[in-house]
Amino acid sequence: MARATTHLHLVIFSFTFLFAFELIIVSAHGLEEAAMLEQHEQWMARHGRIYKDSTEKATRFKIFKKNVEYIDAFNVEANKKYNLSVNKFADMTDEEFIASYTGYKATTKEVMLSSFSYANVNDVPSTIDWREKGAVTDVKNQMKCGCCWAFSAVAALEGINQMKTGQLVSLSEQELVDCDYQNHGCEGGSMETAFQFITQNNGLATEADYPYQGGAGTCDGEKRASPVAAITSYEQVPMNDEAALLQAVANQPVSVAVSAGQWSDLRFYNGGVFTGPCTTNLDHAVTAIGYGTSEDGTKFWLIKNSWGTEWGENGYLRIQRDVDEKEGLCGIAMKPSYPVIM
């Protein structure tokens, strides 16, 4: 009888312990969920995000939670050369992000140019930053418009124009979005086609005369009546050749395309030298404005992006260079080009 009572007590104790343990787990999960909900509310307030109803908010919260958990897990891993942050893209899916914040599209209408003016340039500095030479305007923000191609082309043009004239002038992306009909505005385009437009139209209007609106509009002939920064032509850097890209960037800012969408941590990049993962499916256009070597010896390209100053290193990216893949990391060496002023 005593043994039976003892056994019963053990069974009751085991059930009680398991029940209490489950309560602890449920309680901990509840606290984690509450903390995540509070983090989402704070993030919404910081970024001015307002949802149309509770259903959309619940959907966005699930996406936000998944992204935050990924970012947190990434940042606790050791031996990473870069880190991620919960930025303004945190409630978007990969597909939504690609549709709204990229926009590079190579086109079969591009004219393949055989010349490369910097082919014989062998004496290049070990590091260069065109910001320090006054050839880079402030970081801009394309907002929810897939016109990165326009921002990339304009940044390259602003650079060479400053080098030729001594004046740094902010130029109009909106003119390209509205008036370059060979490209597709917020639906995407290429820098080479933009350079063709700029060549044929004697330059671009200034940002002040034709300001950016964050979306496509009707081409305004009055705003673009006084173009500046005319270019003679453009050239393409030999494909899949980081050494050739180095020769070009040593002499002027260069437009490049990268893979920034699916399978890439670039949208949550916060700082350090980005080392991947990413593909070579080019979908985003940026501008290479320099290169260098980090304190740990990692060689990098210095990139100006168009996602605002709150992204990355105040709007800039350092991405690893001289990698084993001939295309360069994220395909950066596949489609570089730059404007020419004779």
Distance between CA 177 and CA 27 in Å, rounded? Answer: 53
DSSP for 224-238, written as a single string: TSS-B---SEEEEPP
Query: Parallel, antiparallel, or unpaired for β 284-293 and 128-129?
Result: antiparallel
Instruction: Give residues with Cβ within 8 angstroms of 33, minimum separation 6.
Output: none
Q: Is 29 a catalytic residue?
A: no
Instruction: List the catalytic residue out of 161, 278, 305, 330.
Output: 305
Distance between CA 302 and CA 249 in Å, rounded? Answer: 10
Instruction: List the catalytic residue out of 145, 161, 179, 284.
Output: 284
Q: Which two structure tokens, joined as six digits, stand for 268?
A: 């949550």
Instruction: List the catalytic residue out of 148, 179, 186, 330.
Output: 148
Peptide bond into 211 cis (omega under 30): no
Q: Which two structure tokens, joined as six digits, stand for 72?
A: 């947190």
Amino acid code (one letter) for 210: Y
Q: Is 284 a catalytic residue?
A: yes
DSSP state of 331: G
CA atoms within 13 A on the CB side of 146: 21
Helix (H) or strand (E) run with residue 129 in it:
strand 128-129
- Contact, 89 vs 267, CB < 8 A? yes
Distance between CA 190 and CA 256 in Å, rounded? Answer: 10
Q: Which two structure tokens, joined as six digits, stand for 262?
A: 């699916």
Q: Which two structure tokens, joined as six digits, stand for 293?
A: 């070597």
- Contact, 229 vs 171, CB < 8 A? yes
Amino acid code (one letter) for 45: A
Distance between CA 3 and CA 283 in Å, rounded? Answer: 73
Residues annotated as part of the active site: 148, 284, 305
